[in-house]
Structure 1
C-alpha cells in the first residue's frame, strides 16, 4: 500500500468512527477496536485526531459526542439529537413570528428547525450566521436572506468571530431566536465564548427575544453565561421536559410556551 492509499484508508476510518460515535452518542475503546478491527493503540490515535478535529471528545475508556459543561457537541451530533422536540418547538416559535417581519436566527439546530417553517410565513427578511440555514433559506421563495459573515467554524457549520459580531451589531430586527446548551433557573449558558459573544450581540439587536430550548437543557449549567432569562420575552420548551423543571421555569419567568409533542 502506498502512502496515498494509507492516508485515504485512515481518513475513511476516521469518518466511519466519528459516524459510529455520533450515532450511538458514545463508544468505548474496546468496542471501537472490535468494530474497526484495529488495535487499542490505533483507536487511541484515531480518537486523538477526531478530538483535534472537534468531532468527538475523549473520555476515560472511550469517546463521546455528547456535550459537557465545557464542551459543545459537534454539529453532526446535534442535528440528530432531540429532533421531534426541536420540531415541536419550532412550530410554536413560527407562530410567534408575523409575516413581513425581520427575523434573526442563531447557529443552533433548534433555530434551523424554525427556519424550515419560515417559508409558510413569507414574505420575511431572515438574518443568520448558520451555513445550513443559509443553504435552506436560499431556495425559499419570498425570503430576503442576509448572511451574517465572519470566520467559518466547521465544528458548528457557522460564521463566528469579530466579523460576525460586527455584522450583527450593524442591524436591528423585529425578532431574534436563539437556543443555548444549558438553562438554569436564572440564566442561559453556553460552553464556548465565541458562540456566547455572537448570541449576546444577537440579543442586543432584536426587539423581541425568543429562547428556544428542548427539555434536555433545563436545570443545567455550562461554562459561560449568555444572558439572564429575564432578558427573553418568551421561552419555548417542549412538553417532554420534566414537569418539575417546567414549573420552576414558569415560577421565574413571565412567559413560557410549552410545545406539545
Structure 2
C-alpha cells in the first residue's frame, strides 16, 4: 500500500471513530508503528489531524479552525490548480464575488488583466491583491474583521451584500457533502457566505479534496444553490459522484 492510500485510510478511520491509535493502525495496515507515526505527522502538517499521546484526533472533533497563516502553505499545488480551473468560470466582463480563503486569494492573483472586471470581496487579503490591479474595479465590503480569516462579518457586511447582484460568486468552504451542502465552522462567517450566494447568479465553490465529505458546524448553502464545485484530482470518486448526482457539476483540477 502506498503512503497516500494509507493516509486516506487513516483519515477516514479518524473521522468515523473520533480518534486513531498508533499500535492498532500498525497491526491493521501491516506496517511498523514508526511508519504510522510518520503518516500522522504528515496528516498533521496538512492540518487534518492533531497528534495526541498514542495516536491522533481529526481536527473537526476538536472544533479547530486553522488560521489563515496555518493554511497558506497547505496543499499549495492543489489550490493552484483549482484557482487556474476557476478562471474558466469567469465572465468576459461584469461582476464577481471573491470569498475569503487561501484558494480565493490565489484566484485573485491569477485574475486576467485583459478584461474589465468588477470584484466584490469582504476578505482583506483578496482586497490587498486587487487594490492596484489594472482593469479591476474593487469594492470592499465592511464589517467586523475576524482575526482568524481576515474576513469582514456582521450586520454591516450583510447590509452591503444585500444591495448588490453579481454574475458569479467564488465561494470557499470548510466542508461540502451531498447531504449537508456547504458548511463552515463560524456562524457569523456562514451568514456572510449565504449572503454571497444570494447576491450571485451562479455559485462556484472552490474546495480541495480534504473538504469534500466533511461537515462543519454552520450550514452555508444546500447543494441546490451550488452550480459548480472545483476540487482537485485526489477527491474520493464516490464523494464526488454523490455531489454530481445531487445536481452540482464537479470539476477535478
Structures share fold, TM-score greater than 0.5 = yes
Which whole-Å CA distance do the structure 1 matches of 2:146 and 2:117 have between them?
A: 27
Aligned position for 2:182: 188
1:26 Cα deviation after fit: 5.2
Give the TM-score normalised by the residue count of structure 2.
0.74
Aligned position for 1:119: 112
CA contact under 8 A between 2:99 and 2:170: conserved in structure 1? yes
Which whole-Å CA distance do the structure 2 matches of 1:257 and 1:199 have between them?
A: 21
Which whole-Å CA distance do the structure 2 matches of 1:67 and 1:164 have between them?
A: 29
Alpha-carbon RMSD: 2.4
Aligned position for 1:157: 150
1:71 Cα deviation after fit: 3.0
1:258 Cα deviation after fit: 1.7
- Show the 5 A alignment for 1:27-176: 67-68=59-60, 70-120=63-113, 122-176=115-169
SS at match of 1:152: strand
SS at match of 2:252: strand
Which whole-Å CA distance do the structure 1 matches of 2:178 and 2:76 have between them?
A: 24
Which whole-Å CA distance do the structure 2 matches of 1:231 and 1:142 have between them?
A: 30
Which whole-Å CA distance do the structure 2 matches of 1:232 and 1:121 have between them?
A: 28
1:124 Cα deviation after fit: 0.3
Relative distance call for 1:25 and 1:255 in structure 2 (3 A) is closer
Which whole-Å CA distance do the structure 1 matches of 2:50 and 2:211 have between them?
A: 22
**Is residue 257 of structure 1 aligned with residue 245 of structure 2?**
no
Aligned position for 2:222: 228
Give the TM-score normalised by the residue count of structure 1.
0.72
SS at match of 1:68: helix
Which whole-Å CA distance do the structure 2 matches of 1:224 and 1:75 have between them?
A: 19
SS at match of 1:210: strand
Which whole-Å CA distance do the structure 2 matches of 1:192 and 1:215 have between them?
A: 20
**Runs of at least 5 residues in structure 1 that lack an aligned partner in the other structure:** 1-22, 28-56
Relative distance call for 1:250 and 1:176 in structure 2 (3 A) is same
Larger C-alpha radius of gyration, 1 or 2?
1
CA contact under 8 A between 2:206 and 2:230: conserved in structure 1? yes
Aligned position for 1:209: 203
**Runs of at least 5 residues in structure 2 that lack an aligned partner in the other structure:** 1-40
CA contact under 8 A between 2:44 and 2:50: conserved in structure 1? no
